[in-house]
A = this chain, B = another copy of it.
Amino acid sequence: MLKYDEVAQKIEQNIYTAALAAGTRLANIEELIKQYQVSRTTIIKALDILERRGIIYQQQGSGIFVRQKKKPGYISFIESHGFTNDQKQQPSFTKVIELTQVKPSQTIAKALQCDLNEDLYLVKRLRYINNQIHCLECSYYRKKIVPYLNIEITSGSIFNYIKQVFNINIGFSDKYFEVTTLEADNAALLELPQGSPTLYVEEIFYTSAGEPFDYSIKHYHYKNSKYFVQSQLS
């Protein structure tokens, strides 16, 4: 873990351990440098991560403050460290429907910046939170970058696995989404009537070196999923 990630986690933990209310002022940057024995750059980057995650807000010239906690029952739409990591607070599990090797379609090849002959893993899964179907996920992994997957691995967090085993650093993602209606096959898997509304999400995940490695399509169960985003606007 990077130093500033570590410091960000410690500060966050201290906020929750002390149960600090929204609006509480934290120590200033000079004091944080002393307290955590790290450089100014590390503190600035750690505070920035916490700002991005909606934990704190920084007010130019007057300090660093604790933000309002999110309402319960909503999942973070942005902190995509993978489904398993994001759902730590609520019991969740995964059912693998399909795991095969395929070649990309034109669309997928374009998204993954690969040629039509490359080998991909296709992983189709149902994700559950609190024993309710949360979403149907269909992901394409480039074998070139993720050389091995099996049922056991894909039943858990693929992201954790590839980080640990293949040493892949997950960098960023492009997420495109819209509201649409379900066709018969996906409706059946989500146990909803055909034509039900759904949040349809296409996401391309990149390594920290900027290489796309996973193209993922999700259909969310509209009755079982609500989302939140804490934005920084300034």
Contacts and interface: CB of A to CB of B under 8 A. Distances in A.
A231 B23 contact: no
Interface in A140-173: 169-173
A96 interface: no
A174 B67 CA distance: 10
B77 A229 contact: yes
Contact of A233 (B41, B170, B231): B170
A173 B59 contact: no
Interface string A74-88: 100111110000000
A71 B176 contact: yes
A198 interface: yes
A220 B178 CA distance: 10
Interface string A55-74: 00101101001011011001
A228 interface: yes
Contact of A177 (B40, B171, B206, B227): B227
A210 B2 CA distance: 30
Nearest to A206: B57
Contact of A234 (B59, B74, B169, B225): B169
Contact of A231 (B65, B80, B178): B80
A154 to B, nearest CB: 20
Nearest to A197: B197
B52 A228 contact: no
A137 interface: no
Given A180-B197, A197-B181, A234-B208, A174 B54 contact: yes
Given A60-B208, A208-B59, A179 B176 contact: no
B175 A230 contact: yes
Nearest to A69: B174
A209 interface: yes
Contacts of A174: 54, 68, 70, 228, 230
B173 A231 contact: yes
Contact of A44 (B45, B78, B230): B45
Given A67-B172, A77-B229, 9 more contacts: A23-B210, A40-B41, A57-B172, A62-B209, A78-B229, A176-B227, A178-B222, A179-B198, A180-B222
